[in-house]
């Protein structure tokens, strides 16, 4: 099978010739230049012979055009950090207006897709990373977001609507650029963050507006649910065909999830970073001292066995540590050949 045939088979619940696999990580020394980042992602994918590319624009790309201030290091081992929020007072919500896909940092990341179309090896699927509107607002407003939702819901809805329209504009332009689908990441679907009523009002309707803008157009659409104590049952009913979450770290396990859901799963690799202060700190089996390639292979075979090898694409539960040794990155690929 070709890479695309293999991934399509897994996504559609058919039997591929082997389990598809990929690893992705932040490439922070390259992610401020679209061509350099595209070249680095393609080179990385070919070096390890992975089956698809999950595109890795820096995680705060959605917010500087609305006033957030970033610290950018261009350091392989130090990711972009949010230095100052874009919303520091309730009046700042009024400045959140819809943007075209070619505007500012959004446009830079759109160029990433355009370069991917030119550089990627034919037959290699690649998917663009996007964020739920509430996740973007959380990055813009920081700790004040929940209180603003309670005290000034109309202004929050106005901002969420503008973020949603901007994200849809960006989605449509990426489809024109040739992406295979989208990696829709939500950092707001944890019961630890908000309850059912708030999620139903401020998250779900905007999530679905974005996902519905591409669900019938692109074929490889991943929903990433970030964090612990996640709304797995509710999110698994979203109109996407692949689910990704911290399955080896916070659960549910792949086996537990399969008992609830028949969709394809992307995961099995224990990789779960968290924001501590303003920095990203990794909880990683790949870079953990003492981890050997044989341990990685065993780890992945355990994941495959949890679902009898069906409807699974092997990859990180979130994002891999850029300090991961080459031999462990190779072991991920070799594990699916056993």
- Residue 47, domain CATH: 3.20.20.210
- Which value, in Å, is the radius of gyration of the alpha carbons in the chain? 19
In a domain, 235, yes or no: yes
In a domain, 164, yes or no: yes
For residue 251, cis peptide bond before it (omega within 30 degrees of 0) = no
Confidence band, pLDDT 50/70/90 cuts, at residue 280: confident
For the chain, what is the mean pLDDT?
Answer: 97
What mean pLDDT comes out for the span 274-280?
78
What is the rounded CA–CA span in Å between residue 269 and residue 214? 27
Whether 199 and 228 have beta carbons less than 8 Å apart is answered as: no
pLDDT exceeds 90 at position 279:
no
Closest Cα to residue 143, out of 253, 32, 326, 275? 275
Q: Which domain holds residue 32?
A: 3-264
pLDDT exceeds 90 at position 334:
yes
In a domain, 281, yes or no: no
Residues written for the chain: 338
What mean pLDDT comes out for the span 88-104?
97
In a domain, 19, yes or no: yes
pLDDT for 276: 78
pLDDT over 70 percentage in the chain: 99
In a domain, 277, yes or no: no
Owner of token pair 């650029």: 177
Tokens of 86: 């874009």
pLDDT for 120: 98
Confidence band, pLDDT 50/70/90 cuts, at residue 165: very high
**264: number of Cβ within 10 Å:** 24
In a domain, 325, yes or no: no
* Model pLDDT for residues 48-83, shown as the tens digit of each residue: 999 999 999 999 999 999 999 999 999 999 999 999
In a domain, 207, yes or no: yes
What is the rounded CA–CA span in Å between residue 254 and residue 267? 8
pLDDT for 273: 87
Confidence band, pLDDT 50/70/90 cuts, at residue 275: confident
Q: What is the largest CA-CA distance in the chain?
A: 58
pLDDT exceeds 80 at position 278:
no
* Model pLDDT for residues 194-220, shown as the tens digit of each residue: 999 999 999 999 999 999 999 999 999
| Tally of structural domains, the chain | 1
Owner of token pair 């396990």: 253
Whether 158 and 96 have beta carbons less than 8 Å apart is answered as: yes
Whether 138 and 189 have beta carbons less than 8 Å apart is answered as: no
What mean pLDDT comes out for the span 240-260?
97
In a domain, 278, yes or no: no
């Amino acid at each position: 099978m070709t890479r695309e045939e293999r991934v399509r088979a897994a996504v559609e619940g058919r039997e591929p010739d082997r389990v598809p696999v990929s690893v992705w990580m932040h490439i922070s020394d390259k992610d401020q230049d679209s061509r350099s980042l595209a070249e680095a992602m393609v080179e990385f994918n070919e070096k390890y012979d992975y089956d698809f590319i999950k595109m890795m624009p820096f995680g705060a790309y959605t917010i500087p055009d609305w006033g957030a201030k970033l610290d950018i290091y261009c350091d392989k081992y130090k990711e972009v950090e949010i230095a100052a929020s874009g919303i520091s007072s309730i009046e700042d919500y009024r400045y959140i207006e819809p943007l075209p896909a070619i505007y500012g940092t959004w446009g830079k990341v759109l160029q990433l897709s355009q370069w991917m179309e030119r550089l990627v090896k034919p037959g290699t699927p690649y998917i663009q990373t996007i964020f739920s509107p509430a996740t973007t607002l959380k990055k813009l407003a920081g700790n004040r977001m929940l209180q603003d939702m309670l005290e000034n819901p109309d202004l929050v809805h106005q901002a969420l609507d503008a973020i949603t329209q901007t994200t849809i504009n960006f989605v449509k332009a990426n489809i024109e650029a040739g992406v295979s689908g989208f990696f829709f990441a939500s950092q707001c679907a944890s019961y630890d963050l908000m309850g059912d009523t708030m999620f139903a009002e401020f998250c779900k309707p905007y999530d679905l507006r974005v996902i519905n803008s591409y669900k019938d157009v692109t074929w490889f659409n991943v929903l990433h649910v970030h964090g612990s104590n996640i709304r797995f049952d509710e999110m698994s009913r979203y109109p996407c065909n692949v689910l990704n979450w911290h399955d080896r770290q916070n659960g549910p396990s792949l086996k537990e999830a399969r008992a609830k859901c028949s969709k394809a799963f992307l995961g099995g690799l224990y990789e779960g970073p968290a924001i501590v202060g303003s920095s990203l700190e990794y909880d990683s089996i790949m870079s953990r001292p003492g981890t050997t390639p044989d341990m990685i292979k065993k780890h992945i075979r355990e994941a495959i066995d949890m679902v009898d090898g069906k409807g699974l694409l092997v990859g990180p539960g979130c994002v891999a540590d850029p300090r991961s040794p080459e031999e462990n990155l190779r072991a991920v690929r070799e594990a699916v050949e056993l």
